[in-house]
């Protein structure tokens, strides 16, 4: 686990290697920012807030990338397509 600080907020970040790629997730108290490996459909099924960013290979990439899909719960929290991953995490804190 790694720790990411944004202003006064602290988030937990995880990288899980698979045989072909690494799955990356940054968690906030009320949701998570993840790479495209994670399913929005599953998040919707369980009522979780999730924002997806694609084409990333580092946590810094995740924070700068534009959100490409969001779960219904994340949308209710104000997360929108096109905002940065950092903005999405702050909305889900």
Read off the CATH number of the domain in which 35 is found: 3.30.1980.10
Which residues form the domain of 73?
A: 2-91
C-alpha 45: how far from chain center = 17
Cβ contacts of 74 within 8 Å, gap of 6 or more = 31, 43, 49, 50, 51, 88, 91, 92
> How many structural domains does the chain have?
1
What pLDDT shows up at residue 37? 93
How distant, in Å, are the alpha carbons of 9, 43, 45 from that of 60? 16, 23, 29
- With cut-offs at 50, 70 and 90, classify the pLDDT of residue 77: very high
What pLDDT shows up at residue 59? 97
68 exposure class (CB count in 10 Å sphere: 0-12, 13-18, 19+): middle
What pLDDT shows up at residue 32? 97
- With cut-offs at 50, 70 and 90, classify the pLDDT of residue 85: very high
The whole-model pTM stands at: 0.94
Q: Comparing C-alpha atoms, which of 42, 24, 44 is closest to residue 34? A: 24
């Amino acid at each position: 686990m790694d720790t990411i600080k944004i202003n006064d907020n602290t988030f937990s970040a995880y990288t899980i290697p698979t045989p072909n790629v690494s799955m990356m997730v940054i968690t906030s108290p009320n949701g998570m920012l993840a790479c495209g490996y994670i399913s929005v459909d599953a998040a919707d099924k369980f009522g979780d807030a999730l924002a997806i960013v694609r084409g990333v290979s580092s946590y810094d990439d995740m924070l700068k990338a534009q959100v490409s899909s969001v779960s219904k719960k994340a949308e209710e929290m104000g997360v929108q397509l096109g905002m940065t991953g950092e903005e999405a995490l702050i909305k889900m804190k």
